[in-house]
């Protein structure tokens, strides 16, 4: 059975992130489905993100990719000695829109510069 989703459909979820994800946070810890309050309290660095920091790409009939520009900020807290770092995108009001693993899990000290890498999130064709 053939399956297909138009790029507009795949972009729907990606546009929620692009249009509403105005804060990117580095978290010292994250558990799946943590509340907005928990995510914000675990943030050790926060940067503003604007719609222009996001790019949508991918041909019709293929996966769609949301790319986020690299950013940097200053850590406002320490990560602790064995952090499980994650990057979260929020609407800065009440919603956690996307969380992804940060794989280096480096120790972060308050006052240090934090570099957020360019990230991608893919919305795939139905399987």
Note the pLDDT tens digit of each residue in 74-118: 999 999 999 999 999 999 999 999 999 999 999 999 999 999 999
Strand 113-116 versus strand 71-74 pairing type: antiparallel
Which structural domain, as residue segments, surrounds residue 109? 7-123
Number of domains in the chain: 1
Three-state SS for 4-48 is CCCHHHHHHHHHHHHHHCCEEEEECCCCCCCCHHHHHHCEEEEEE
Mean pLDDT of 33-44: 96
Tell me, what's the pLDDT at 20? 94
pLDDT at 2 over 70: no
| pLDDT given at position 17 | 94
Query: Which residue has 């992130």 as its token pair?
Result: 17
Asked, for residue 74, whether it belongs to a domain, the answer is: yes
Give the mean pLDDT of the chain.
Answer: 94
Q: Note the helical H segments in 34-120.
A: 36-41
In a domain, 56, yes or no: yes
Within a domain: 32: yes
């Amino acid at each position: 059975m053939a399956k297909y989703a138009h790029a507009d459909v795949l972009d729907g979820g990606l546009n929620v992130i692009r249009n509403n994800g105005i804060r990117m946070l580095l978290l010292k810890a994250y558990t799946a489905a943590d509340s907005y309050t928990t995510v914000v309290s675990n943030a050790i660095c926060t940067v503003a993100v604007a719609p222009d920091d996001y790019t949508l790409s991918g041909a019709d009939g293929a996966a769609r990719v949301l790319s986020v520009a690299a950013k940097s900020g200053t850590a406002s807290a320490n990560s602790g000695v064995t952090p499980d770092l994650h990057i979260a995108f929020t609407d800065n009001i009440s919603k956690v829109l996307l969380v992804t693993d940060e794989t280096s899990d480096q120790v972060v000290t308050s006052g240090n510069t934090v570099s957020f890498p360019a990230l991608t999130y893919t919305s795939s064709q139905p399987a």
